[in-house]
Structure 1
C-alpha cells in the first residue's frame, strides 16, 4: 500500500467516515474539513484520501458578498471624497441614485450591461422641464452629467480593487454619448426576431423580448403591465406608460404576431402581472428590472442564439421598424410616449443600410 502524502500545515484534516448517520455504508468515505482558523467547515466527502487532499489543497473561499451600495458608502468615508466640494458630493449622490436597481447587488454579480443601460437611459430619455403654460419641454443631459455616472462606477470599482475584492474595473469600457453625441445603437434584425419566435417552445422568456420589440415599451413599463391593462377584443393596451405626461396617457395597439403570446401570458398569470418570475423556492413574483435582465432577458437571448444586446434594443427596433414601414411621425411619437417627434427621431430611429432595411420589411 502506497504511503499517504502528508497534508501541509494549516490545510485542514481528512477523516474516514464509513457510515452515514442512518447506518448505511458510504460510497465516498473520506471527509475533508478545513482547519480551525477557517471554521472547521466540511467541504465534502470523497472516494479516496488523495481526492480529499487535493480538494483541501485547492480549496478557495468564495469571495465575500459586498454590495454596490456598501462600496459606495466605503468610498464616501475616504479622504478623497471628503475633500470634494459639497456640490460635487451631492452630484455623486444623485448619480448613485440612478443605479438604485443594483444598490443591493453583490459587486461580483453585476454585469457590464446593467451599468451601461443606466447610462443609455439617461442619454436617450433626458428630462422634462415644465413651461409657464403647463406644457413640458424635452431637454437632454450634457456629456459631463452623463460622464459622472461613469466616474461614480469607476470610484466604486476602484474601492473594490483596493479592498482586494476585484481585480477589474468594469467602468473602463462604459460608453458615454451625451448631448449631440449620440452613439450608434443596435437593433434586432429580422433573422434574430425569427430566431426568438422559433425558440418559444423551449425558451419561455423569449415571449417577453418579442412583446418588447413589437410594442416599444420601456422595460419598467412592461414589468408594470397587468392583465387589466390589456383588451384582446379591441387589440389595445392602455394605462401603462411612465416618464412623461405623453407616456402616462398612452395607448398601444397589439400587433397580430404577439397577440397569441399575450393571451397565453394572461392565462398563465398568477400575480395579475404579465411578467412573472419563478424564484428558486418556487414563489412566483413580478420581478425587478435587475432580475428581469439578469434572470430572464439575457438568458433568453442566449438560448435563442441571438447576439447579446441591451433591453433598450427592443425599443430602438420598434421605432425603426415602425418608421421605415410608413407609420406617421405623429403616430409614432404617440406610440413611443414622447412629447416631441424629435426625441423619437434623434434618439431611437436608427439608420439602416439597404440590406437590413430589406430584411426588416419582411416582418408582417
Structure 2
C-alpha cells in the first residue's frame, strides 16, 4: 500500500498531505519500486545535488522532498510520524527533543564524533554560523560593523537609514530563530540591547533566511541579523549587493541534523540516506555535490566545543522558560 500511495503522489502531487509546503519536489523515476519521503527545512535548491548524488547509486529508488519551516517540521512530524522517513532540520534543539521522545531509530556503525551525534540516532552533517548580512549601500567599506556592539552603534547613529529596514527571525514562529536567539541570550546581554535597538527601529520579522535575503537584495532591508550565511553564499546574484559578517565578539552556531523516523516503512533506504549525508562529510562521498558548509568542530579558547548535541540544548524548550523568553523578546522587539 505504501508504494501504491507513493505512485499516486507522483501522478497527482496535489494529494500530498493537507499541508501548505514552502516547496515540494520529486526526484528519481516515477516507476520507482521504493520511495523515500524526506521532510526538511533546507531549501530544495541547496539540497537537490545531495539527493541526485544519493540516487546515482540507488536504482529503483525515488525521493519526495518536502520543505517547510523548522517549527512546522516539529508540528507536522509529531502529528503524522508515519508520513515521513527522514527528518532534516537546522533547529537542532527541536530535533534532539524528537529523538528523546522516541521518534527515531538507531543507525549503527556511523563514524561520527560524540559532539555531532546523539544516541546513534541523531546525526549532524553541517556546521553553520549565524551571521549579520548587510546591504552594502547602507555602509561605507570602512564602517561595516564587525561586532554586535558596532552594529548597535551604527544603527543608533543613523536611525533614519535603518528605520523599518532591519530584520531578524520571528522567534515565535521560527524554530531556528528561537534556537539562535536563546543561544545568543545565554552568551551575552548584548543580545537584549541589540533587540531593543532593532525594535525601536521597527524591526521586520521573518520566518526564514531566504526571505530576509530577498528583501536585502531588493533594498527593503539594510541589515538582517542571524541569517544563515550559507544561503547568501549560495546565491551568485548577491555578491555585489550583500556582505556577510561573522560577528567577532562571539559565535552563534548550529548544526544541521537528520534522523530516521521510527515509523518508516523503508528503513534500509532511510538509513542509507542519512549515512550518505554523513559520509559526504568524511570524504567517502562526492563532496563537490554538497553545497552546504561541511561539518567541523568549532571550539572556544579553552578547546571546548562551542555547540554540540547534548540535553542542554533543550533547556529553552521547557514550556515555562519558552513563555518567559518570548515575553521578554516581544517586549524588546515589538514595541
TM-score after normalising by structure 1 = 0.28
Structure ranking higher on relative contact order (CA contacts 8 Å, 6+ apart): 2
Q: State TM-score, norm by structure 2.
A: 0.30
